[in-house]
Structure 1
Amino acid sequence: METYTIRPICAGIFGAAEKSNFSYQKDAGTKLAAPILMYLVQGRDTCMLVDTGCCGEAWAAQYHHPLTQTPEMEPVRALRDLGVEPEEVTVIVNTHLHWDHCFNNHRFPNARIYVQRREVEFALAPVPTQYTYYESPQLGMTPPWAKAMDRLEVVDGDFRLQEGIDLLFAPGHTPGFQCVRIQTEDGPYLIASDCVGLIENWEENLTHGLPTPSGIHVDLREYYDTIRRLLPLADAAHILPGHDARALEHSVYPPR
């Protein structure tokens, strides 16, 4: 089986993120520095991004939350620093379509973009509390993912992208969320993104024996169904989160 390497990329940092937004009702009022993560997956003939990061500081301050984005964190610059030009990326997987995970889809002109059908449908008409997360048309905005709509590859449920790379339907945080399972020389890694915003949600913050979901979600019952489904898979895989600085402890996975 073909194996891959995974490189975490910090596209920006929420400097004072509310912790309970990541860990359901836990540690309310506690602030933490939360990186905005994207992942570069490379194999013999593969150059793939899982999520494409966020906007710049000015846009975030106006429409979302203040963030820090140094020149080195800017997504295209960060990839070039790893020796990858935007034109070399041929596949993008959006775990979901919140603004901080798909803002730069259009900047990778040769990439096909894989997203769940339920996610696209919801992103076009989200519930009002999520209008801003999606920069939705209901606010008079153009959703960032729509700038590359002509390159979307819409999938329904679990999907084998190619040998060693599987998309796993994982609704809860959003209705069409998906995780990505990547086979490496050290076994499988699960890019869980915001399904597991902080690794401690899975390892430490257990509620009645189950991992703790995000405080931001659309359907908590579906979220717990996803958690139960992922438990046996995650036990056999390394988890890579959506907003946890621990993911940046290594420049590449598996660590060398």
Structure 2
Amino acid sequence: MSLYRIHPIVVGTKRFDKGMMTYQSGYGEPYIIPIYSWYLEGGNSRILVDTGEMQPIRSADREKDLGGRIYTFEDGLEKYGLKPEDIDIIIHTHLHNDHCENDYKCINARIYAHEKEMKHIHEPHPLDFRYLEDYIEDVHERGQMVIIDEDMEVLPGIRVVNTPVHTEGGLTVLVETRGGTAAITGFCVINENFEPPIQIKAMEMEVIPPGTAVNTYEAYDWMLKVRDMADILIPLHEPEFAKYDVVPGT
């Protein structure tokens, strides 16, 4: 079994109210999140988790707030001697637009997504405007999509588990590393969701569900399950990782 190193590549950002991340807390607090493409280095395949934004806003003030550089997709891959056409596998945590806008550039990749994400990207609910089928039409027509309906091993050392927290078809990616099993969450959270401040813990909450969830009660329970699956937790939008070339411990 291969062991992997996980490289966070910032390929976008969002500024918004922190409450978008933390259910019933953080409202009114300005916050910036990075949008990542995660390069899994190891084995014989070149693997990404998500592909980020096509045209990320790149500015000195955003990079200062993040404490790290914002890349275009191509520039981010170039750090590791890669081009979009070199990518063999893309695994999607979900198919909101900011996680799949560069798929079409990866003409040789097999692209894994859950069947419920494919359903929603073609028939989005009015409450979920973040699904835009334009970004997966090309790869779907080229036969690159691998649509799954159950938990599975993608490659030795890389598994996906359906975690319907932020979206129904969210896939948490479990990656074997030298530090143990790392979980790239299939839902949009930050460290604080898994490590609540004392005033939240005083309410007997072990975790904070994401600010937008399919079912908040179930989201809470799924977060506990994911926490217990992993030796290394990688919340999908945690700003801290923007400072690193490699996720610590991997």
Which bin holds the TM-score, normalised by the shorter protein? Answer: 0.7 to 0.9
Distance 2:28 2:166 in 1: 21
The 4+ residue runs of structure 1 with deviation greater than 4 A are none
Could you say which residue in structure 2 is the equivalent of 1:64?
Answer: none
Separation (CA, whole Å) in 2 of partners of 1:247 and 1:253: 7
- Which structure's residues are more often helix, by fraction? 1
Determine whether 1:134 maps to 2:131.
yes
| TM-score normalised by structure 1 residue count | 0.85
The 1:92/1:180 distance shift into structure 2, 3 A limit, reads: same
CA shift for structure 1 position 72: 5.8
TM-score, normalized by length of structure 2? Answer: 0.86
Residue of structure 2 in register with 1:202 after alignment = 194
Specify the alignment match of 2:111 in structure 1: 113
Residue 151 of structure 1: CA displacement? 0.8
Cα offset for 1:232? 1.8
The 1:238–1:220 alpha-carbon spacing in structure 2 relative to 1, beyond 3 Å, is same
Matched residue SS, 2:205: coil
Task: Please report how far the alpha carbon of residue 8 of structure 1 lies from its aligned counterpart in structure 2 after TM superposition.
Answer: 0.2
Aligned-residue offset at 1:27: 1.1
The 3-state SS of whatever aligns with 1:24 is coil
Identity of aligned residues (%): 28
Rate the CA distance shift 1:194–1:28 in 2: closer, same or farther, 3 A.
same
Q: Which of 213, 229, 232 is 2:225 aligned to?
A: 229
Q: Which runs of 5+ in 1 are unaligned?
A: 59-66, 136-141
> Which residue pairs with 1:164 in the alignment?
157
Contact kept in structure 2, 1:165 and 1:181, CA below 8 Å: yes
Unaligned residue ranges in structure 2 (runs of 5+):
none
Structure 1 residue 193 displacement after superposition: 4.8
Q: What residue number does 2:11 align with?
A: 11
Supply the distance in 2 between the matched residues of 1:93 and 1:177 (Cα, whole angstroms): 11
Distance 1:123 1:184 in 2: 32
Q: Which one-letter code corresponds to 2:124 in the other structure?
A: P
